[in-house]
Structure 1
């Protein structure tokens, strides 16, 4: 038994030595050798690009989670709500200007569908954070085409920097003076003056990724509803219930979607709908008692009104 194992090891060692000799003594003029070296360089370049995109996706995921925590501290009845929303928009726009523009640069002149999984988690977390901001500030959420246009950048062909200008970064009701760097503003000016000397780069957002990220929004609104009940904000609870119900009914109207994550997202959304409806049912049944209970709970937390601002230090 040991003799046969020794023979196999010796044969494997011989084959490996032979491969090394063939590789080291390869003829550069041989078309087969040149082709395989080109394939090796192409695969190495693809793997390196994939890993760089993964790193950018992780940065987007971390910053988006922090922004969601920040947005959960927003109470529109408090005077610091505008400041928190403005800071959140600044940081959301910085993600577009920095991280997503770097991904768009990596995907330029490449097949973006080959690298979709590298930043899938990041784009879903960003969609969840941005749509939650839109829900709080604008009372509506952006659609897929708006997000894709926001992640389309116009840069100079000889510009190697990552900062770029999204065409719709300053449109809508967001505070336009917040979150736009001087470099991005200069890119905007260059676009208006010399449109023929610019090129377009896009960070692809697949529609299924947008749907998965939007499905996660129901969980954040459910948490907002429960927190609002504790603070006595009954109107926000009813608003959250209507929104989550309409969102879930919209996903149900799509029918069967053949995606492995969609069924899990739909189940989580269904659980969020049940929790929000349970909160509103409790308010309906208890009537004035629910309001008194909520106001007493809010009075106990009155001394901690300024604690929630700590999330802004991320």
Structure 2
């Protein structure tokens, strides 16, 4: 039987198995925690700020290189569209009352070839991407294509090819699973503004060949386009290209009006003189000034 003093002496003894076990476990826990902290301190960081910045810079540099390469291909496609669309326009200028069907049929076939061979290449480069970033690269070619397409449509039907119909013709070129490339309103209006210059040249040529009625039709059509655009352009935000083209467009409309008016004045003078010779229509001076 233990006495209280003897029990306290036994518990306080350093050789007690309970105290020894407790001290041993505490010592081991300190060692383990110390080892864990050291291993954490010595473990290298998997992502550092420096490596992250290097990776981000490398990714951005790769993106810029790819974008520049794409821009070069887009510029080449736009240049091909411009050249071949101009050929279509030159083809249409050969039109007369005797060869209208033949010339338009050839011009429309050439325009379809421009779409299938060159517009399709542009669509493949730009569909499914942020193609607005490359608009400056492909806009000149698109404007020229709009000009050629609307020129053919007017000479065929006497009406305007609208943007919805124009874009509908491009849909078959795109992958249905990807957002299609569509001509935007600005490029359409810029191409339409250039159309009046070609209409002016066509009207002067038709007057020289005695086709005054066709020239007057061109005059009314050009005047209507200019009047409608004067309502739209003030709403556009500081587009210097459009404003510059509007000035050129007005000059073209005035030249057509002056040419038609000159024919009527000269015709009236010949009528007063009693002449019935229609040759006065030949060689009407080009109102370029």
TM-score range, shorter chain: 0.7 to 0.9
| Higher-RCO chain (CA-CA 8 Å, sequence separation at least 6) | 1
Q: Which residue of 2 aligns with 1:208?
A: 186
TM superposition shift of 1:297 = 4.8
How far apart in 2 are the matches of 1:266 and 1:61? 21
Q: Which residue of 2 aligns with 1:109?
A: 128
Instruction: Give secondary structure in 2 for the equivalent of 1:254.
Output: helix
TM-score normalised by length of structure 1: 0.68
Gaps of 5+ in 1: 1-26, 157-197, 299-314
Q: Which residue of 2 aligns with 1:174?
A: none
1:149 aligns with 2:189: no
Residue among 222, 227, 240 paired with 2:205? 227
TM superposition shift of 1:149 = 1.8
Larger helix fraction of residues = 2
Question: For 1:18-167, what aligned pairs fall within 5 Å after superposition?
Answer: 30-75=51-96, 77-78=97-98, 80-153=99-172
How far apart in 2 are the matches of 1:253 and 1:103? 32
TM-score normalised by length of structure 2: 0.73
TM superposition shift of 1:254 = 2.0
How far apart in 2 are the matches of 1:60 and 1:37? 35
Q: Which residue of 2 aligns with 1:278?
A: 258
Q: 1:57 to 1:107 in 2, by over 3 A?
A: same
Q: 1:238 to 1:296 in 2, by over 3 A?
A: closer
Q: Which moved more, 1:89-98 or 1:29-38?
A: 29-38
Deviations 1:85-120 (A, max 9, x none): 111111111221221121111112210110111111
How far apart in 2 are the matches of 1:206 and 1:294? 45
1:292 aligns with 2:278: yes
- Are the aligned partners of 2:167 and 2:182 in contact in 1 as well (CA < 8 Å)? yes
